[in-house]
Amino acid sequence: MLCRELPWAEPGAAFQALAGNGPLVFLDSAATGDPRATTSYIALDPLAVLRLKEACELPPWLAEARPQDDTCPPDWPFAFKGGAIGWLGYEAGLAQAGIGSRHAPISGLPPGWFGMFDLVLGFNHAARRCFALAADRPGASAASRIEALAARLATPHSLPVLPSVAWQAELPRPDYEARVERLRAYIAAGDVYQANFTARFTAPRMAGFSPAACHAALRARSPAPFGAFIDTGAGLALCSTSPERFLSVQADGHVEARPIKGTAPRHADPVRDAASAATLRADPKERAENLMITDLLRNDLGQVCAFGSVQVPELFSVESFAQAHHLVSAVTGQLRPGLNAAALLLAAFPGGSITGAPKHRAMQIIDELEEGPRGAYCGAIAWIGLDGAMDSSIIIRTITATPDMLYAQAGGGITWDSSPASEYDEMMLKLSPLIAHG
């Protein structure tokens, strides 16, 4: 592989110059000033593509699709050193758990998609430095691929104007609140302690709709540290401004999960905003909800981590984003010898923060009460590097674009103490940047 520094370009501007000729992935840490948002990546021209039907197809494909030239040069200054990037949809996890869904799959949306990338741009936000990484291909040297990429970056490009989107709720407010009550009845009966209930908004995909323009508008409204844009090149795209890391793995096997459970609104007035964050941190219901999911993640990591290595170094921290404060904890561990990032991803998938506890029963109840399939939503976007490292996000705050339809979805964790009216308001707070202004 070859590494070369290129003239600095803002990640958003580089994305604008390169979008439109998928497959392309933009791992978009757009939350300016956020300590988690230091690096962005654009990967394109994949060596191989996987449209998976089952989650178990991912590990063998990672081995089969691995490029021959897989040695990253020492001057490449980023954690992702080339490899696979893609997503697993929520229903892939449902099937892996042996739970049959009552919902028909979303037309045109596979259970998951990954590309194996050996052409990557890395952006160091603080240093304002941009590097390209490329491998030789038959008929195209690494140097020539980087030169062609640099030429595209130097050519100004504008995205189409985003047309207005006619979003429609699948569940009116009274029906949403009634299903929250049904979920509370399951909690009262002892089926679950908590479950994540969501609602979906849909819209026909109109002529001229540009997923790239959609992502550019969404990242401007709601910049996030774990944002991502994935264009499969077949009329299918994800536009995500997720605030939630799912799992990260270092090349030495150190694991971290950062579950989010607990939400409070932001305020323009600093005093009110600080009070909102403090109230969230002290709220017994939100703390109990976060603790349940933190325990669930401890159990998930325990399946693949060394005995005694799973720890909770951070509990009930408040992290602040454009529209909301969230309560976040951290769970860490060390992978057992012989296990890798893909094994961890499948063991913990789907994330406990968007299922509930106990996970299996919560997923059954979710399928019963929600109006349609989740699709990519509540799955995971991940990069899995050639050196064994991985980082991933939970697919929330995301618009899914299929060739015919658009989908936006949000929700929250329901406990016995939940107020149906408050849960609906929280769901709409999370949904607001997705359905505002088209």
Per-residue pLDDT tens for 390-409? Answer: 999 999 999 999 999 999 99
Q: The pTM is what?
A: 0.93
Amino acid 286: pLDDT:
86
Under the banding of pLDDT at 50, 70 and 90, the label for residue 436 is confident
Mean pLDDT (whole number) for 221-233: 94
Is there a catalytic annotation at residue 244?
A: yes
Catalytic site residue from 81, 91, 256, 261:
261
Is there a catalytic annotation at residue 81?
A: no
Q: Report DSSP letters for 161-207, one per residue.
A: PPPP---EESS-HHHHHHHHHHHHHHHHTTS-SEEEEEEEEEEE--T
Q: Report DSSP letters for 298-366, one per residue.
A: HHHHHTTBPTT--EEEEEEEEEE-SSEEEEEEEEEEEBPTT--HHHHHHHHPSPGGGTEESHHHHHHHH
Beta-carbon-side half-sphere exposure of residue 355 (alpha carbons within 13 Å): 26
- Tell which residue, 405, 403, 409, has the closest CA to residue 430: 409
Catalytic site residue from 91, 244, 286, 423:
244
Q: What number of residues does the chain have?
A: 438
Spatial CB neighbours of 242, under 8 Å, sequence gap ≥ 6: 224, 226, 227, 228, 381, 393, 394, 395, 396, 397, 398
- Tell which residue, 324, 361, 355, 16, has the closest CA to residue 155: 16
Average pLDDT, the chain: 94
Per-residue pLDDT tens for 236-287? Answer: 999 999 999 999 999 999 999 988 888 888 899 999 999 999 999 888 888 9
Amino acid 35: pLDDT:
79
- pLDDT over 90 at 140, yes or no: yes
Which domains does the chain possess?
2-435 (3.60.120.10)
pLDDT above 90 as % of the chain: 83
Amino acid 438: pLDDT:
44
Per-residue pLDDT tens for 65-113? Answer: 999 888 999 999 999 999 999 999 999 999 999 999 999 999 999 999 9
Amino acid 437: pLDDT:
57
